[in-house]
Amino acid sequence: MTTTTLPDLTVTPLDGAQFGASVSGLDPRNITPDLRDALWGLYKERHGLLCFEFAHMLEADELHALTAIFGENEFAPGRINGIGKRAAPGEEHLTVEEQVARLQAEGVDPYMAYIGNLDPKTLEVNQKGGKFYGEWEWHTDMSYIPKPPTFSLLHARVIPPEGGDTGFCSQVMAAAALPADLRERVRNVTIKHDSTYGSSGQLRPGMTAPASPIEAEGHAHPVIRKILTTGEEALFLGRRTNAYIPGMELAESEALLNEIWAHATLPEFCYQHRWQVGQVVVWDNRMMLHMRHPVDESMHRLMWTQTKGEAVVAA
């Protein structure tokens, strides 16, 4: 890719990646329909990964405006019953609107997640601890629901001197390079995406540990999905931990999952992003896996939003 200039924007490929582009010069509070179309064109051309460069930390409304380029806001996990959270006893009757109103009255943005161990307002280390969302394992955000979020956005507020990079792994490239015999064996196969554990291995709020992956709660999706906006195919694996292929013996499911995952995460499909403060990285969850690399947890903070998704369509 040669350096491209959209109106008022400078676009360059991401260092060392076969996909993705860096975009600078964007004003999140001034997104015109033409600019939105140009950014969608760039997203398709660069296979689902864009990095917006800003010289400052964004306000929440600016991050929401960027999110709106790509779709309607989805709730952050753990905020609304049924989305990474089980209703507390006696609160099963609350409507989504009632839950949103209650969160907003408490000063909580139901659409924003804070990743790290720093207080959202002061950016000081949160002495209570326990606020860190570990992301050590390749995964797709919230793939355990029927309509997983399509886009995720991460905004770097505080970054550590080392570590804490985010890895991205193109599942479009992985699908295109899928060996013929493996493709045949995963044709018409689904994977159940576990909802009980998060990416760092912690049980989600209100969840109990299943006896085995067979009993784990979560939605099943086709292994190879069609990306409706680009016509491409992508592997859609979710997360390896507690995954299960319905209809198989557990040992058979584990063996096939291990084989698919070994192919899907080959280094040639992957890119490791080193953060700079002010950046917003947006990616298409249908097209790629992501993971956080190890970091000193007191030194790291990101803001995260995501868009609503769609039912997964088999390729």
Which of 141, 233 has the CB closer to Fe ion?
141
Which of 213, 238 has the CB closer to Fe ion?
238
* 74 lies in the binding site for Fe ion (CB under 5 A): no
Q: How far is CA 112 from CA 26, 27, 65, 86, 92, in A?
A: 21, 20, 13, 19, 23
Which of 141, 297 has the CB closer to Fe ion?
141
To the nearest whole angstrom, how small is the minimum distance from the Cβ of residue 238 to Fe ion?
A: 11
Closest CA to 300 of 167, 136, 133, 140: 133
Binding mask 124-153 for Fe ion (x = CB under 5 A): -----------------x------------
Residue number of the CB closest to Fe ion reads 141
To the nearest whole angstrom, how small is the minimum distance from the Cβ of residue 136 to Fe ion?
A: 11
Distance CA 17, CA 183 (A): 25
**Residue matched to tokens 């582009």:** 21
Closest CA to 70 of 46, 48, 99, 86: 48
Longest dimension (CA), the chain: 58
To the nearest whole angstrom, how small is the minimum distance from the Cβ of residue 155 to Fe ion?
A: 14
To the nearest whole angstrom, how small is the minimum distance from the Cβ of residue 185 to Fe ion?
A: 28
To the nearest whole angstrom, how small is the minimum distance from the Cβ of residue 108 to Fe ion?
A: 20
| DSSP reduced 3-state for 156 | strand
Which of 142, 186 has the CB closer to Fe ion?
142
Number of residues that bind Fe ion (CB under 5 A): 1
To the nearest whole angstrom, how small is the minimum distance from the Cβ of residue 166 to Fe ion?
A: 9
Q: How far is CA 115 from CA 150, 159, 233, in A?
A: 19, 11, 30
CB 167 within 8 A of CB 245: no
To the nearest whole angstrom, how small is the minimum distance from the Cβ of residue 203 to Fe ion?
A: 17
Which of 189, 288 has the CB closer to Fe ion?
288
Which of 11, 304 has the CB closer to Fe ion?
304
Distance CA 7, CA 301 (A): 32
Which of 85, 178 has the CB closer to Fe ion?
85
To the nearest whole angstrom, how small is the minimum distance from the Cβ of residue 94 to Fe ion?
A: 26
Tokens of 127: 């002495």
SS3 readout for 175-206: HHCCCHHHHHHHCCCEEECCCCECCCCCECCC
Q: How many other C-beta atoms are found inside a 10 Å radius of the C-beta of residue 206?
A: 14
Which of 141, 194 has the CB closer to Fe ion?
141
- Phi and psi at 12, nearest 5°, equal -135, 155
Q: How many other C-beta atoms are found inside a 10 Å radius of the C-beta of residue 304?
A: 18
Q: Which residues bind Fe ion (CB under 5 A)?
A: 141
